[in-house]
Amino acid sequence: MAATPDWMLVAADDEGIYRLQKGRLRLWASAQEHDALADLEGLATDTHGAAVWALAEETGEVVRVSAQRRGVTVKSLGRLPRPGDTRNKGFEGLAYLPREHSPNGRASLVAVHEDKPRRVGVFVLPDLSETHAFKLPDTVKDALSDLADVTVDPVTGAVLLLSEESRRIAVCTLDADGLALISLTDVRVQDEERPEGLDFVTPSRLVVVTEGPATIIDFRVTRPRR
């Protein structure tokens, strides 16, 4: 998912991208617009909500989606190299990483690979060159059985990793040396609910979306005073 204070975007697998705004949910970008939108598992938006990127699970293709007066346009930026080839264990999440928080010093995208192996990759915009590919540290690996989505704290640059199977969020620092665990937060859901996506709506509000059934869970975000 991807969010701003005004709207939320949610990937619906083979249907495309839905947009929730002012209490109204509508299909914003149909899978008929581009093949990558028929295999969606990751969405990201920049700090101002001006740009939207979408990531296909199996192929690793990244597209930029732009709103126009009549519908949307979809432009392919390329494909991310998959660290594994196990079916149904492809890319699962995408986030925008501003240059001030990026280990390469450039605006980038962060993508997470679900499992076999679990990986966090950093890809420079706009050409998607991979500058970093991080394994999970043991503390994070033990806490998260899989990776379902990722987002970046807009204030601190910390990376938040969501696990569907473990129903947990890991907050980690991210720098050129890799990931380091800061804290863990459990996502309390009903038995049939599966946490699938997360993003910051504002710096103080984090939301998690679930499937089966679809719900939105709000978290109030506080940070230690420096």
Distance between CA atoms of 84 and 22, rounded to whole angstroms?
40
Q: What is the DSSP secondary-structure string of 134-175?
A: EEPPHHHHHH-SS--EEEE-TTT--EEEEETTTTEEEEEEEE
Mean per-residue pLDDT, 5-30: 92
- Report whether pLDDT(93) > 90: yes
pLDDT at 89 (0 to 100):
76
Residue with tokens 């991979």: 130
CA-wise closest residue to 96 among 146, 158, 58, 53: 53
| Cα–Cα separations (whole angstroms), residue 63 to 45, 77, 82, 203 | 12, 5, 16, 26
The chain-wide mean pLDDT, for the chain, equals 93
pLDDT at 226 (0 to 100):
64
Return the percentage of the chain with pLDDT > 70, whole number. Answer: 97
pLDDT at 175 (0 to 100):
95
What is the token pair recorded at 4? 């701003």
Question: Domains (ranges, CATH) in the chain?
Answer: 2-220 (2.120.10.30)
Q: What is the pLDDT of residues 94-124, one digit of tens each?
A: 999 999 999 999 999 999 999 889 999 999 9
Mean per-residue pLDDT, 131-147: 96
Q: Taking the CB of residue 20, how many other CB atoms lie within 10 A of it?
A: 17
pLDDT at 53 (0 to 100):
97
Q: What is the pLDDT of residues 18-63, one digit of tens each?
A: 999 999 999 999 999 899 999 998 999 998 888 999 999 889 999 9
One-letter amino acid at 87 equals R
Distance between CA atoms of 55 and 13, rounded to whole angstroms?
11
Q: Rounded to the nearest 10 degrees, how much is the dihedral formed by the CA atoms of 28, 213, 197, 30?
A: -20
Residue 37 CB-density burial (10 A; 0-12 exposed, 13-18 middle, 19+ buried): buried
**Which of these ranges, 76-80, 83-87, 179-183, has the smallest mean pLDDT?**
83-87
Decide if 92 contacts 111 (C-beta within 8 A): no
- Report whether pLDDT(211) > 80: yes
How is residue 49 annotated by DSSP? S
pLDDT at 121 (0 to 100):
96
Residue with tokens 């949610």: 10
pLDDT at 88 (0 to 100):
65
Distance between CA atoms of 141 and 171, rounded to whole angstroms?
13
HSE-up (13 A, CA, CB side) for residue 74: 20
pLDDT at 94 (0 to 100):
97
Distance between CA atoms of 124 and 114, rounded to whole angstroms?
20
pTM: 0.94
pLDDT band with cut points at 50, 70 and 90 for residue 70: confident
